[in-house]
Amino acid sequence: MKAPKRITALPTVTTIKNVDWFALVQDGVTSKVSFSDLDEALGDEWITGGTYNPTDGCATFTSNSAHTFVVCGFLTGYTDAYTYTATTSGNSIVFDSTLFGTNYYNVDLTPILSANTFTGGY
């Protein structure tokens, strides 16, 4: 008898037919079920919405038949920071950050402006 294969070592099937069989483990008992039986049992159900909790990294999804399921393991503890405004002030461009506030950093354009060298365009 050959050694059992890991699931990751099994070949990939690109097309599932209604007559194909799958292993089903329910209440500790392994049995077989056809794709058409699975399809009939599941019916037409789809995700209609969801919410994400940044504290625990879990997303809760709701289906059209009011079933919910939770997916956890998303990255937590990081905050999205980005520039939301850039304005000119004298010879500088001033950047404001959503996380760090106004005038978070600026770029002095004096070296560029004092060179008085422009190429291309009008």
For residues 61 and 95, membership in a common domain is answered with no
Share of the chain above pLDDT 70, in %: 89
pLDDT at residue 35, rounded to an integer: 78
Cα separations (Å) of 71 from 5, 7, 42? 28, 22, 19
- Domain that includes residue 99, residue range: 83-115
| Edge-to-edge strand list for the sheet holding 68-72 | 47-53, 58-63, 68-72
Q: What is the pTM of this model?
A: 0.35
* Contact between 93 and 108 (Cβ < 8 Å): no
* Cross-strand partners of 86: 95
CA 65 to chain centre: 24
> Quick one: which of 9, 1, 7 has its CA closest to 22?
7
* In-domain check, residue 43: yes
Q: Return the residue matching tokens 């038949």.
A: 65
* In-domain check, residue 77: no
**Section 98-102 average pLDDT:** 89
For residues 110 and 67, membership in a common domain is answered with no
* In-domain check, residue 29: yes
